């Protein structure tokens, strides 16, 4: 009997320890979900990532005299055509159809392989699908989640060593590798930078690029500090989009005033040679209400009272009701007018390379307003 009780106590202790580990894991994951990114592939960035307070309003005030006149152009004016030394475009695997070698693109960022829950590469795209494209080709690697990033970047771990070997092997047919790790926690700052250095050493003559969150000023102990990363890589693509994101208040994906601030800081910190200013091809929709959510009972009673609900139906004993309500939608998007003005603004500021998230989301007309130098 005593042995049985002791066995049960050990089992209970083991169960408690297991639940404790699970609690820590999901706490870390919850933090990741609150700071998600875009972005672009369904991720998003919070205000801190963008170096913006959530309630900060960017006024249309500019440091460059030409901008007010440029932005006053009506849609009836002839739009400016901008020339750049490099034009980068992201392409998601499976969306290759429609790309033409006539597009003014020097570099194709192929999106992409990702790090799975075991720290290994998954979803490596087939290089043969883009072999006929004449642009330089770069494999893009992502890692989604702070806990996962912390785990795979930890120095001395076999998972990190295996990941580096896997990235170098997967990059073999490409002209370069781009690291797009958008959830690196502050504790992994040094590990992230040493990770980039090891990749740089292993790539040899191939290009190493990174995609970094937008900044308008230097932040203390910033994982994505431009000045620290600059000597390690060949290019830095600044993701100057998601100024407003899916859970923020409605607003432009990238307002002109905000983009000017980001570009000015990027030029000062990175310089023209290695800077790629990212632009969005996509839009976002916001509603004045979010219908899908959980309610406590008093909240359900409030809805029934406000909507005049009297017909309660039951399904296998569970009560339910339906009602209709109006939802006001706000949509911000990019067209050839907004994109050509932003491109002209960057060109006049001295930006020599731009990149787009992502091919297939754009208005086809925008390609009429981009030239290669």
**Inter-axis angle of helices 158-170 and 146-153, nearest 10:** 90
Strand 275-280 and strand 353-357: pairing? parallel
**Are 115 and 142 contacting, i.e. CB atoms less than 8 angstroms apart?**
yes
Alpha-carbon distance of 333 to 330, in angstroms, equals: 10
Instruction: With residue 319 as reference, give the H or E element that holds it.
Output: strand 318-320
- Where are any strands of DSSP class E within 175-259? 176-180, 207-213, 235-239
Q: What is the CA radius of gyration of the chain?
A: 24
Counting runs of H as helices and runs of E as strands, what totals does the chain give? 10, 15
Instruction: Report the catalytic residues.
Output: 182
**Are 201 and 164 contacting, i.e. CB atoms less than 8 angstroms apart?**
no
Hunting for tokens 């800081």 — which residue is that? 265
């Amino acid at each position: 009997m005593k042995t049985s009780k002791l066995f049960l106590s050990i089992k209970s202790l083991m169960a408690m320890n297991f639940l404790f580990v699970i609690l820590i894991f999901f706490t870390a994951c919850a933090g990741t979900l609150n700071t998600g990114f875009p972005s672009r592939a369904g991720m998003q960035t919070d205000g801190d990532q963008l170096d913006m307070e959530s309630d900060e309003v960017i006024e249309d005030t500019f440091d460059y005299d030409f901008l007010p006149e440029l932005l006053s152009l009506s849609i009836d004016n002839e739009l400016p055509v901008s020339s750049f030394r490099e034009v980068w475009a992201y392409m998601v695997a499976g969306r290759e159809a429609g790309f033409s070698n006539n597009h003014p693109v020097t570099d194709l960022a192929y999106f992409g392989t990702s790090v799975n829950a075991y720290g290994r590469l998954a979803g490596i795209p087939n290089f043969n699908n883009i072999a006929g494209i004449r642009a330089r080709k770069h494999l893009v690697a992502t890692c989604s989640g702070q806990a996962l990033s912390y785990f795979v970047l930890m120095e001395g771990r076999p998972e990190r060593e295996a990941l580096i070997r896997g990235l170098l092997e997967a990059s073999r047919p490409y002209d370069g590798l781009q690291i797009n790790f958008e959830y690196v926690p502050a504790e992994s700052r040094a590990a992230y930078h040493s990770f980039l250095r090891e990749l740089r050493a292993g790539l040899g003559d191939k290009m190493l690029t990174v995609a970094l969150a937008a900044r308008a000023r230097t932040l203390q102990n910033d994982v994505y500090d431009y000045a620290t990363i600059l000597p390690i890589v060949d290019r830095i693509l600044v993701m100057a989009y998601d100024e407003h994101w899916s859970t923020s208040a409605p607003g432009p994906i990238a307002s002109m005033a905000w983009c000017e601030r980001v570009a000015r800081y990027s030029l000062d910190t990175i310089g023209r040679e290695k800077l790629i200013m990212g632009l969005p091809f996509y839009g976002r929709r916001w509603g004045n209400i979010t219908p899908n959510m959980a309610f406590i009972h008093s909240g359900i009673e409030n809805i029934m009272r406000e909507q005049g609900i009297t017909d309660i139906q039951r399904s296998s004993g569970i009560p339910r009701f339906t009602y209709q309500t109006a939802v006001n939608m706000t949509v911000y998007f990019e067209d050839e007018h907004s994109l050509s003005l932003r491109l002209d603004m960057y060109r006049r500021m001295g930006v020599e390379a731009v990149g787009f998230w992502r091919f297939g989301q754009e208005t086809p007309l925008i390609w009429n307003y981009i030239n290669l130098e």
